[in-house]
Structure 1
Amino acid sequence: MNDIHRFGELFNGQYSGTIRGQTRLEVPAMQWEEVRKIYPNQYVKLQILASHTEGNTKYVDEVALIRAIQDPKEATKELLQSKDGVIVSHTANDELKVEIRTLRGLRGVVQHEN
């Protein structure tokens, strides 16, 4: 099954929307290859604008650059805090994709006895 996902609004190639609680801004919608050329060999924080899903993998089609990150430790911290379509990746990666994992657990209430 191939699902298409679009976030925010695109007007003439520009993303218009709020990125992670910031003021409404307009930034260019970019392909991953464009980001890789402009920011070679570094970490980047991105807002996913459009993606499609194949099996358990989400392939990112369009992004808006939030910022470049120089320090690997800061990139890791930003990645761990990412949510709502915000990701961190290194431009050495050929593809921008996210593995979708299903959390499985027990339903119901767990009762503890003393």
Structure 2
Amino acid sequence: MYQQGAQAYQQTTKAVENPRERESALLMKAAAGIQRVKDEWETGTREELKVALTFNRKLWTIFMSSVTKEDSPLPHEIRQNIANLGLFILNETREILLEPAPAAQRLDVLVRLNRQIATGLRGS
């Protein structure tokens, strides 16, 4: 699993030069994967849910790790906001994996957050 996430990150890195654009593209990819699971909720599998949420969780873990480093160039408030969002996403992901039955609607929150952050990174 980790290998797949790293490979996806490297492939996206090659296609996109700017780090903010890269991060935006990865967030959009994660959002699309979660949205696909939601759209196919009735016919999808638990494994597809797990794969989509794992990719998103790994991505947010990387973001959180990056903003909590001493040498992060971001202002403290932004770093704190990203860390808080990341914690929310990790907790929500855990809850969805533990109790997937009502998760279809809960996936919307993860998709919306990823898309909003991606849009912000693009400056749109």
User: For the pair shown, which has the larger CA radius of gyration, 1 or 2?
Assistant: 1
Report the TM-score range of the alignment, normalised by the length of the smaller protein.
under 0.3
Between Structure 1 and Structure 2, the one with more helix by share is: 2
The normalised TM-score by structure 1 is 0.27
Between Structure 1 and Structure 2, the one with more strand by share is: 1
Of the two structures, which has the highest relative contact order with CA contacts closer than 8 Å and spacing of 6 or more? Answer: 2
The normalised TM-score by structure 2 is 0.25
